[in-house]
């Protein structure tokens, strides 16, 4: 298989890879955590991982972001490096060991964000082409104003990067959030068909959405061989 097609082809590992995507405040973390609890309660071996969590790169990106020292390309490349590191150290071992890997955000986060920041769509997709295709990619679709309301209910201040403040879209962080996250939403929408996203109406209640999430996950687990997992 051409490595450039990897993210478009089913993987051959004994485990399963379920991922969630959506703009900030869409409720994806809430849903994947609930899914994790449910799967574990049924005795599945679950491994949870988040986007951007490798300590190796974290310190560098944090410092560089503060100084505004990154171009869209260098920003993107740092995150690709971060992801490649996490893929090898976190995601692939449990997937090869037959576990159910749950990822809070995946390469599609980079596809969306880096394009909004000015990188070419083709270029970003190519740089992440080594990533295995998820068995399920849930996309929590929500309008920006609802996402913004949820975030500000939980905490009064927006993070500069989630509002895209470095892009000088708007002086007001709330307006900037809407423009920036609106761009991300449009990018996600383009990925639905080519990447087979399972789209959820994320304006619905947590319970209603979780019911669907569990149904979709259960259907995907019908041909899953639990005995293949080590544990
Ligand atoms: P994300 O991971 O997409 O940024 P979170 O799961 O952290 O979103 O949720 C953001 C906030 O919205 C949290 O305070 C959460 O409790 C709340 N929330 C999540 N889902 C819903 C929902 N369906 N309806 C109302 N509030 C929600």
> In which domain, by residue range, is 163 found?
15-220
154 lines ligand 1 (CB under 6 A): yes
Q: How far apart are the first and last CA of the chain?
A: 31
Question: What SS3 state is found at 11?
Answer: coil
Q: Give backbone dihedrals phi and psi of 76, rounded to 5 degrees, phi first.
A: -65, -45
Report if residue 201 sits inside a domain: yes
Cα–Cα nearest to 125, from 2, 10, 7, 1: 7
Structure tokens belonging to residue 81: 């490096």
Q: Give backbone dihedrals phi and psi of 49, rounded to 5 degrees, phi first.
A: -140, 150
Report if residue 207 sits inside a domain: yes
Pairing of strands 198-201, 100-104: unpaired
CA separation for the pair 167, 117 (Å, rounded): 7
Nearest atom in ligand 1 to the alpha carbon of residue 204 is: 23
Report if residue 226 sits inside a domain: no
Report if residue 105 sits inside a domain: yes
What's the pLDDT score for residue 3?
Answer: 52
What's the pLDDT score for residue 229?
Answer: 66
CA separation for the pair 20, 39 (Å, rounded): 15
Nearest atom in ligand 1 to the alpha carbon of residue 206 is: 23
What CATH number does residue 197 fall under?
A: 3.40.50.300
* Bridge partners (DSSP) listed for residue 143: none
Report if residue 2 sits inside a domain: no
Burial class (CB in 10 A: 0-12, 13-18, 19+), 171: exposed
150 lines ligand 1 (CB under 6 A): yes
The alpha carbon of 67 and the centre of ligand 1 are apart by a number of angstroms equal to: 30
Residue whose CA is at the smallest distance from ligand 1 atom 8: 27
Structure tokens belonging to residue 86: 């996490």
Per-residue pLDDT tens digits of the chain, which is 231 residues long: 445 567 777 899 999 999 999 999 999 999 999 999 999 999 999 999 998 756 667 787 777 777 778 888 988 998 898 899 899 999 999 999 999 999 999 999 999 999 999 999 999 999 999 999 999 999 999 999 999 999 999 888 888 888 988 888 999 999 999 999 999 999 999 999 999 999 999 999 999 999 999 999 999 999 998 876 665
Nearest atom in ligand 1 to the alpha carbon of residue 205 is: 23
What's the pLDDT score for residue 1?
Answer: 44
Cα–Cα nearest to 32, from 148, 128, 138: 138
CA separation for the pair 2, 7 (Å, rounded): 10
The alpha carbon of 56 and the centre of ligand 1 are apart by a number of angstroms equal to: 29
What's the pLDDT score for residue 54?
Answer: 64
64-68: long-range pairs with CB below 8 Å, 24+ = 65/161, 65/166, 68/166
Report if residue 128 sits inside a domain: yes
Report if residue 82 sits inside a domain: yes
Report if residue 36 sits inside a domain: yes
33 lines ligand 1 (CB under 6 A): no
Count: domains in the chain? 1
């Amino acid at each position: 298989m051409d490595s450039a097609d990897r993210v478009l082809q089913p993987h051959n590992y004994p485990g399963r890879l379920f991922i969630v995507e959506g703009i900030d405040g869409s409720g994806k973390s809430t849903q994947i955590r609930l899914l994790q609890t449910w799967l574990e309660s049924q005795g599945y071996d679950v491994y949870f991982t988040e986007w951007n969590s490798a300590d190796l790169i974290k310190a560098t990106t944090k410092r560089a972001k503060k100084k505004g020292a990154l171009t869209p390309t260098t920003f993107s490349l740092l995150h690709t490096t971060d992801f490649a590191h996490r893929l090898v150290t976190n995601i692939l071992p449990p997937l090869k060991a037959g576990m159910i890997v749950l990822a809070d955000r995946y390469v599609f986060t980079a596809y969306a964000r880096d394009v909004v920041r000015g990188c070419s769509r083709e270029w970003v997709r190519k740089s992440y082409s080594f990533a295995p295709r998820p068995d399920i990619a849930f996309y929590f679709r929500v309008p920006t104003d609802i996402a913004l309301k949820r975030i500000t209910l939980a905490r009064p201040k927006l993070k500069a990067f989630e509002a895209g403040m470095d892009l000088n879209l708007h002086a007001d962080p709330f307006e900037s959030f809407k423009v920036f996250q609106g761009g991300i939403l449009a990018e996600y929408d383009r990925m639905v068909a080519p990447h087979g996203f399972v789209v959820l109406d994320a304006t619905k209640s947590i319970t209603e959405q979780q019911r669907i999430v569990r149904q979709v996950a259960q259907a995907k687990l019908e041909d899953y061989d639990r005995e293949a997992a080590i544990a």
